[in-house]
Amino acid sequence: MLSARRSYRMFVAVAPLLVLGACDGGAGTDDAGPSSERDAFVAPGTDAFVAPGTDAYVTPGTDAPTTGGVTYYGNLRPVLAQHCASCHVEGGVAPFALTSYEQATSWGSRLVEVTRDRIMPPYLADNSGSCQTYRDARWLSDAELATFADWVAQGMQEGDPTTPEPMIVPPPVLTGAVSTLDIGVDYTPDSGRSDDYRCFIVDSPGGYVTGYDVHPGNRSIVHHVIVYEPTSDAEGDRARSLDAAEAGPGYTCFGSATVDAFPVVLWAPGGGATTFPRGTGVEIPTTRPLIVQIHYNVLGGTGSDRTRVDVQTDARAIPAYIVPIIHSGFAIPPRTESYSSTHSQSLSALGSISPRVYGAFPHMHTLGTSLSVSLVSGATEQCVIDVPRWDFNWQLAYWYETPFRVSSTDEMRITCEWSSMGRDTTTTWGEGTEDEMCLSFFYVSL
Ligand code: HEC
């Protein structure tokens, strides 16, 4: 994503900018996390469709086995509707729907496994509380997990088909001034491979981005969307030349924008709008373009796409920066089931400021199996993000429920683990499909 050297320079460059931010009236904000609009929707009535926990169907005071039990219509359908149907719907990005009794029974015990192992819904960071918790986490509760397990264990009963359709929490929407980034063409992904990563260049509306929402043109093929901002005008020009050098709209880009850039928008289906933590925003100067990277997956559909990205912009905001902690000095030996490597980075460049960290965006390529970052302050080490099962296909943003401060005397320690069983050569840092990465971006502001 970034060369280590350049990124370190960028990190150092950020420190004085944060100081400037302080003069901008940024100090004194409270510890609020990202103010997703979702809170507004989680209101009375929500309980009506959250699947009941086991208590709901175990008759109090008896040890008798549950009668009536867990049924599709009574218990499972509401969980599927809330947590799965944004993708597993006819025409959705998942390769099959989970919106009928027949579809659910055909997957049966696999539903229990993918939920228990937290493969589905896709959410890679551990949100159990052993290493941070996140806002709007797509994280099934123990009661919801039990609903899957009990439904299968009790023989996948149908229940009453006349049960009213479950109501679902509507995804949050943007409320401020919105500019639309339009890729400008109907793009048909390369159907010769199941995954096509394409980067489109769009003009920056200027100002500060304070939130975003993505409207895929073709929901069956848009797997996820990342909008990158080049780190300099020169890197923006490099992106334009890559675009010009390749036939067709945009250019091919695998795990990154190919030029030095940081992610401003990270979106996967079903999430709705994201609003940055209260009052903060990322400046997007008009002198450099933005790069819209779309991951097309043609397993679930075909055809062309014209995706729109709505960015909520403000002329002024408390400046936020997206800074990476990078480990680039690794060499993964070939045919190794598990190779892990750790790197510590001092935060001394922060000088006298102690900014807050609001969010994390971890990143590796396809050999990656796990990633974790900790914050070392003197003798204490605090887990900052833990991804126990990395999946390159789901690059997501994780917003802290409780943002934390960092200071110049701290150190960030990043550990990555890879599996190189299929490789015959040593793998090192790089942009290509055969290269690897080990980094996490952090959303930082005063
Ligand atoms: C953000 C979109 C999204 C959401 C939400 C989602 N899925 Fe999926 N699911 C996918 C996609 C895409 C695939 C195809 C494999 C892949 O790309 O990971 C998939 C694959 C699956 C599979 C087959 C994979 C396997 O290993 O057997 C199952 C089963 C599944 N999902 C169940 C669920 C359940 C149950 C939920 C809700 C608790 C859910 N999914 C939520 C997108 C989603």
What pLDDT, on a 0 to 100 scale, did the predictor assign at position 56? 32
Query: How large is the average pLDDT for residues 20-24?
Result: 34
Residues 265 and 202 in one domain: yes
Taking the CB of residue 68, how many other CB atoms lie within 10 A of it?
A: 11
Mean pLDDT of 286-291: 97
Do 212 and 177 sit in the same domain of this protein? yes
Q: Does ligand 1 come within 6 angstroms of the Cβ of 122?
A: yes
Q: Which long-range contacts (CB under 8 A, 24 or more apart) does 17-25 make?
A: 17/319, 17/321, 18/319, 18/321, 18/350, 18/353, 18/355, 18/444, 18/445, 18/446, 19/351, 19/352, 19/353, 20/319, 21/318, 21/319, 21/445, 21/446, 22/353, 22/446, 24/316, 24/318, 24/319, 25/318
Question: Which pair of structure tokens corresponds to residue 209?
Answer: 């981005």
106's CB contacts (< 8 A; 6+ apart) are none
CA 330 – CA 241 distance, rounded (Å): 30
Q: What is the mean pLDDT of residues 294-321?
A: 92
Kindly list the strands in the beta sheet with 411-418, ordered across the sheet, starting from the edge strand earlier in the chain.
Answer: 339-346, 411-418, 368-377, 380-387
C-beta of 216 in contact with ligand 1 (< 6 A): no
**Which residues, including other chains, have CB under 8 Å from residue 357's CB and lie 6 or more apart?**
384, 400, 403, 404, 405, 406, 442, 443, 444
Asked, for residue 161, whether it belongs to a domain, the answer is no
Domain annotation covers residue 368: yes
DSSP string, 95-134: SS---SHHHHHHHTHHHHHHHHTT-SS---S--SSSS--B
Peptide bond into 324 cis (omega under 30): no
What is the model's pLDDT at position 385? 98
Burial environment of residue 340 by CB neighbours within 10 A (0 to 12, 13 to 18, 19 or more): middle
286 and 222 co-located in one domain: yes
Distance, CA of 232 to CA of 229 (rounded, Å): 8
Q: Has residue 25 been placed in a domain? A: no
On whether both 332 and 312 belong to a single domain, the answer is no
Range of the structural domain that residue 295 is part of: 31-35+172-316
- 317-376 pLDDT, tens per residue? 999 999 999 999 999 999 999 999 999 999 999 999 999 999 999 999 999 999 999 999
Is pLDDT of 222 > 80? Answer: yes
pLDDT value at 68 more than 90 = no
Tell whether 381 is covered by a domain. Answer: yes
3-state helix, strand, coil in the chain (%, to 5): 20, 30, 50
Domain end position, chosen among 277, 301, 316: 316
Q: What is the pLDDT of residue 167?
A: 87
pTM: 0.84
Q: Are 184 and 309 found together in one domain? A: yes
Ligand 1 pocket, residue 343 CB under 6 Å = no
| Gap between the Cα atoms of 402 and 360, Å rounded | 12
Residue 280, domain CATH: 2.60.120.230
Residue 179 CA: distances (Å) to CA of 184, 204, 277, 295: 14, 9, 19, 22
Q: Is the dihedral of CA 113, 126, 443, 402 positive or negative?
A: positive
CB 197, CB 251: distance < 8 Å: no
How many whole angstroms from 35 Cα to the centroid of ligand 1?
A: 27
Same domain, 62 and 102: yes
- Counting the structural domains of the chain, the total is 3
Answer whether residue 7 is part of any domain. no
Atom index in ligand 1 nearest the CA of residue 269 equals 1
Indicate whether 388 belongs to any domain: yes
Question: Alpha helices, DSSP H only, in 108-205?
Answer: 109-116, 142-153
Q: Is the CB of 33 under 6 A from ligand 1?
A: no
Residue ending a domain, choose from 289, 316, 343 = 316
Model pLDDT, residue 59: 28
Mean pLDDT for 90-105 is 94
Domain membership flag for residue 160: no
Whether residue 108 has its Cβ less than 6 Å from ligand 1: no
Model pLDDT, residue 60: 29
Pairing state between β 339-346 and 308-314: unpaired
Statement to judge: residues 179 and 281 lie in one domain: yes
Contact call for residues 338 and 299 (beta carbons, < 8 A): no
For the beta carbon of residue 233, count every other beta carbon within 10 angstroms. 12
Identify whether residues 50 and 113 lie together within a single domain: yes
Residue 373 in domain = yes
List the one residue out of 370, 375, 365, 418 whose CA is nearest residue 395: 365
Atom of ligand 1 nearest to the CA of 119: 26
Ligand 1: centre distance to CA 99 (Å) = 13
Question: Tokens 């975003």 sit at which residue?
Answer: 212
Q: Which atom of ligand 1 is nearest to the CA of 138?
A: 5
Nearest Cα residue to atom 18 of ligand 1: 393
| pLDDT tens digits, one per residue of 72-89 | 999 999 999 999 999 999
Reduced to 3 states (helix: H, G, I; strand: E, B; else coil), residue 88 is coil
**Quick one: 217 and 312 in the same domain?**
yes
Most confident of 9-13, 138-142, 194-198, 430-434: 138-142
CB of 337 closer than 8 Å to CB of 434:
no
Query: pLDDT band for position 19 (50/70/90)?
Result: very low
Shared domain for 366 and 384, answered yes or no, is yes
List all residues 6 or more positions away from 199 whose beta carbon is below 8 Å from its beta carbon. 228, 239, 242, 243, 250, 251, 252, 253, 257, 258, 291, 292, 293
If asked whether residues 308 and 218 sit together in one domain, one would say yes
Among the residues of 181-287, which ranges form H helices? 233-245
Domain check: are 84 and 183 in the same one? Answer: no
For residue 59, the SS3 value is coil
Closest protein CA for atom 15 of ligand 1 = 94
Domain boundary among 316, 347, 381: 316
